[in-house]
Amino acid sequence: MRRIVVKASIATVLSIAASLGLAMSIIPLLGGVVDGNAWLMTVLCPLLIAFPASAYQFWQHERLRTARDEIGRLHGELTRAHAALAQRARRDGMTGLLNRESFFGDASRLSAQDEGGALLVVDADHFKTINDRFGHPAGDAALLAITAAMKGVLRKGDLCGRIGGEEFAIYLPGTTDAETRVIAERLRAAVAAVRFEAPDGTQVPLSVSIGGARAGPGRNFEQVMTEADRLLYKAKRRGRDRVAFAGRVAQAA
């Protein structure tokens, strides 16, 4: 309000100055005399008209500016909320990893552009036993422990998603076969090193089986997924807690 009064006062002073200037230049040209009444009118009329008119105009301008600022603020909040919701829709609610649809979409696009990469399918071993013996909350805690162990191994730029109840998928961009085997083995070892305790205090060993397949340009991603899945079950059949990649099964140490 103070700013409006100051602006209106300045506008009024300028109006009075303009009115005085016109009176002093025009009235003599018309043969009149600028007397007391003329002086009074040149000051009083701008004062009575210019101040309220300019004050109202500046008030309206302030209202519009405030409204624009508020609209801008709300638009920013809506944009951030929309982005947060969109990001949340891409994530698995429990682990925070990419959900199945988002992972396959991102990995498929990345593999089509990548000069060389690999897909790993990771499955928690004997997970049904944990759920049946200790309950689903313990199973959820085990999945979170597995997720944390894998995150500690993965590099920046690697994609990781939860694609089933206890099944995960990882896309490793720009890796050779040798690098892929090393990362897969580190994932397996990191999970095996977890010391997981059930609610009753029982120490429950955790392990994962991993199947991997080469991805990249010219390879259909669905076929890559099928191959990785086939190798996963090969690792399962060989005793679990193993990595199977390109026809080779690496046993747990």
Residue type present at position 18: A
Three-state secondary structure of 78-128: HHHHHHHHHHHHCECCCCCCECHHHHHHHHHHHHHHCCCEEEEEEEECCHH
Q: How far apart are CA 209 and CA 233, in angstroms?
A: 8
Query: Catalytic residue at 166?
Result: yes
Q: Which residues pair with 170 in a beta bridge?
A: 120, 160
Q: Which two tokens stand for residue 210?
A: 């991993």
Which of 101, 115, 166, 179 is flagged as catalytic?
A: 166
Q: What's the angle, vertex CA 199, arms to CA 196 and CA 203, rounded to 5?
A: 35
List residues with catalytic annotation: 166
